[in-house]
Amino acid sequence: MKGLELLYQPEVVRLYLSLLKLSQNHNTLEAAAGALQNLSAGHWTWSSYIRATVRKEKGLLVLVELLHSDADKVVRAIAIALRNLAIDHKNKDLMGSYSIRDLVSNLPCGQQRPAKNLEGDTVVAVLNTILEIVSENLENARFLIQGQGIQKLVSINRTSQSVRETKAASHILQTVWAYKDLRHMLCKAGWNKTHFKPAVSSLPKKQRNGKQGNDDITLPLEEKNQDGCCSVDQVERAADVQCHMIERETFQGVNDKRLFIRTSRPAVGLVERTPQPLDSWV
């Protein structure tokens, strides 16, 4: 390999991880994380190799540790890099137990910002990373609940002045509520379906006026069985019944085996082409 091809060989991962381990310069840390962010973006062949190499070199722990940085730009670059790395399913499985609490610690609680006072773009980056980690992974969603993430997400969804933060938090909440196997845990902790609905301010204008819109962030969740998809009202009524039964500690007769699916998110696949990288640092 020579020329530009040297920039995206898996071997360069060791160099960037060394910089992330040893450097104390915030600009260097941001740049090194940004390089890994770019290399792991998208679904082209080399990015899949990069994501696997980061895991094999134990780089995930190095990145997660830097989520505790006091520099806003470092936390943002690290968060987006972790989001791209989570496209790899093995990476995603590891991140559930190793990074959820660290990501949640960077979230504000409503109007109160964390001690680091992260900028809005950084908060949105952290939220998007959490969404990637819990999407299509029930165990990671369970870790989010156990890590006290629901409380912060509900607070952001209801009180944040940022529409982007509200939308991102709302999308995570809807994703978690879609896991029917977690309803018992959620209801036992005092949560119900109203906590997982998108805030009015986060809805597109068409939806606020009673018309349906196309915003991917706020698409309603559907429940699918052998007969097809039922209405959202039917889904919510079923959820109400289940929560009431949990509160009364009578679970006999709950035989509904239907699963919620997210129809708005395509499955990740690797293809032999080079699309424009997502969330590029440069």
Q: Of 128, 243, 125, 226, whose CA–CA distance to 177 is shortest? A: 243
Q: What is the pTM of this model?
A: 0.71
Confidence band (pLDDT; 50, 70, 90) for 61?
Answer: very high
* Window from 12-16, 179-183, 224-228, 237-241 with minimum mean pLDDT: 224-228
**pLDDT tens-digit profile of 138-163?**
999 999 999 989 999 999 999 888 99
| Angle between helix 138-146 and 149-159 (nearest 10) | 80
The span from the CA of 122 to the CA of 77, in Å, is 8
| pLDDT value at 230 more than 60 | no
The span from the CA of 75 to the CA of 73, in Å, is 6
pLDDT for the residue numbered 234? 46
- Helix boundaries (H) for the chain: 12-22, 26-39, 45-56, 59-65, 72-85, 89-98, 100-105, 120-134, 138-146, 149-159, 163-177, 183-188, 205-208, 232-247
Tally the C-alpha atoms within 13 A of residue 59's C-alpha that lie toward its C-beta: 30
Mean pLDDT score of the chain: 77
- 3-261 maps to which CATH number? 1.25.10.10
* Window from 74-88, 111-125, 192-206, 212-226 with minimum mean pLDDT: 212-226
pLDDT for the residue numbered 4? 80
pLDDT for the residue numbered 6? 79
Q: What is the mean pLDDT of residues 116-126?
A: 91
Burial class, 58, CB count within 10 angstroms (exposed 0-12 / middle 13-18 / buried 19+): exposed
Domain coordinates of the chain in residue numbers? 3-261
